[in-house]
């Protein structure tokens, strides 16, 4: 399974940089076609929050939530506690959501894909493959 960070979904939905939009759409299509997409409810929450901040139409947000909820799973208490432990050990609390994404992905997936360079700081703390797109 492949875990896509929130920014992949955002770039697919909102054109901020055309190259990132094209790559994000291709990644989503590939993961969905191969039945490999998995996201957490945290991704979905961040996605909704960001689209609302960008003033995307509520009808579009609702449609996307219904679609992506098919691939979303809840974050467990243990994932949160493991994220807290990791953040405490490397002073990373400002990016706790990234730690939650990693701990969730580590438990359920083979690979995490993101545009977020902050994941470089997490790479030494996992054996899972993290692909940071540019």
Q: 């609390």: which residue's tokens? A: 93
Annotate 36-47 with DSSP letters as a single string.
-EEEEHHHHHHH
| pLDDT value for 77 | 98
> Would you list the domain boundaries of the chain?
2-132
List, in sequence order, every residue forming a beta bridge with 130; answer none if it has no partner. 112
User: Model pTM?
Assistant: 0.95
Give the CATH superfamily of 2-132. Answer: 5'-nuclease (3.40.50.1010)
Which mean pLDDT values do the consecutive 10-residue runs of the chain (134 residues) have?
98 95 98 98 98 96 97 98 98 97 97 97 96 96
Residue pair 47/6 in contact (Cβ under 8 Å)? The answer is: yes
Question: Three-class SS of residue 4?
Answer: strand
Annotate 46-80 with DSSP letters as a single string.
HHHHHHHHTT--HHHHHHHHHHHGGGEEPPPHHHH
CA atoms within 13 A on the CB side of 121: 15
| pLDDT value for 108 | 97
How far apart are the C-alpha atoms of 120 and 47, rounded to whole Å?
22
């Amino acid at each position: 399974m492949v875990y896509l960070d929130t920014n992949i979904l955002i770039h697919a939905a909102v054109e901020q940089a055309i190259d990132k939009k094209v790559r994000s759409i291709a990644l989503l299509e590939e993961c969905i076609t191969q039945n490999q997409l998995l996201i957490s409810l945290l991704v979905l929450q961040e996605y909704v929050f960001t689209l609302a901040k960008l003033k995307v139409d509520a009808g579009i947000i609702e449609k996307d939530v219904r679609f992506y909820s098919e691939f979303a799973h809840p974050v467990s208490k243990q994932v949160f506690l493991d994220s807290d432990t990791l953040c405490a050990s490397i002073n990373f609390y400002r990016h706790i959501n990234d730690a939650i994404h990693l701990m969730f992905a580590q438990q359920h997936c083979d690979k995490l894909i993101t545009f977020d360079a902050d994941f470089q700081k997490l790479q030494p703390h996992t054996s899972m493959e993290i692909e940071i797109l540019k």
